[in-house]
Structure 1
Amino acid sequence: MDLNAYISFRNTAREALEFYQSVLGGELTLNDFSAYPDMGVDPSETHLIMHGQLTTEDGMTLMASDSPTGMPYTAPAGISVSLSGDDAERLQRAWDGLSDGGTVVMPYEEPPWGGRFGMLTDRFGIDWMVALNA
């Protein structure tokens, strides 16, 4: 069984997933609504992402989709995507990439429990926590 983050966007899933791939690496698969004509999506929105998946070599999976006009959408709130591990250089690169164009909520530095920890909201409005294990 797997537990994966699945993020909903309003018209920016493609751009967001391509950005996350540039930061985290991995293989990106994008399927837009044009491949599923029976979904009832307005023809002007068939370019939107019905399902996208980023899978990295080290086993991370991040999924996302767009919510076309006819589907309910609420901007993500009250949840964060957490990225943690022991590879200090990889986590620093991820922090630097994710924070580019975003807002740092808590700087990526040593917390009282050791290691490094930071919180940010990326350029797409998604909250992230990045932690280097102590």
Structure 2
Amino acid sequence: MSISLNPYFVFNGNAKDVVHFYEKALGGKVMGIMTFGDMPEDPNYPLTDEMKGRIMHAHLKVGEADLMFSDTYEGMPYQPGNMIQMAIHPKEEDRAREIFAALEDGGQVIMPLQKTDWSPLYGQVKDKFGVTFQVNVPGEQPQ
């Protein structure tokens, strides 16, 4: 049996900004963005103008990976932070440095890029949206 997994990020009204930030930082391609306002209206549950602009579902393709996003429904509890972490495995060290620098912009370095026992270049960074990324250049596999 085959299975694929992808992270699903939930934000509080700024998912569109997040999608476009990651599109640029990670060199991805937006496959689609749908707002709550794009859905047929239900007179029993009218949406505010703010809610109509929130992202119901967005899909960003980065290499072979699929990242998905949405905003919370207006008034729902939301706690930002590192409930989800993303591991990124660029094969080239230069690309790892580019990605790390892009994610670091407005964010916070947790562990600077450096050589480790498992990688020629590894680091952790929390981006300006509170998501923690592990940037890891794969090391040589034992024979």
Say yes or no: TM over 0.5: yes
Contact residue 48 and residue 66 of structure 1 kept, 8 A: yes
Look up the equivalent residue of 2:124 and give its one-letter code.
M
Change (3 A) 1:27 1:12: same
Q: CA deviation at 1:69?
A: 1.8
Contact residue 22 and residue 28 of structure 2 kept, 8 A: no
TM-score, with normalisation over the residues of structure 2?
0.83
Aligned residues: 133
Q: Which has the larger Rg? A: 2
Structure 1 stretches lacking a partner, 5+ long: none
Percent identical: 29
TM-score, with normalisation over the residues of structure 1?
0.88
**RMSD of the alignment, in Å?**
1.8
Q: CA deviation at 1:111?
A: 1.6
Change (3 A) 1:40 1:55: farther
Match of 1:68 in 2: 73
Q: Which whole-Å CA distance do the structure 2 matches of 1:40 and 1:115 have between them?
A: 54
Matches within 5 A, 1:85-104: 85-104=90-109
Runs of 4+ in 1 over 4 A off after TM superposition: none
What are the Cα deviations for residues 16-73 of structure 1, in whole angstroms up to 9, with x where unaligned?
11000011123212111111134754333110110111113x2121111110224343
Look up the equivalent residue of 2:79 and give its one-letter code.
T
Q: Which whole-Å CA distance do the structure 1 matches of 2:111 and 2:5 have between them?
A: 26
Structure 2 stretches lacking a partner, 5+ long: none
Contact residue 25 and residue 99 of structure 2 kept, 8 A: yes
Q: CA deviation at 1:90?
A: 1.9
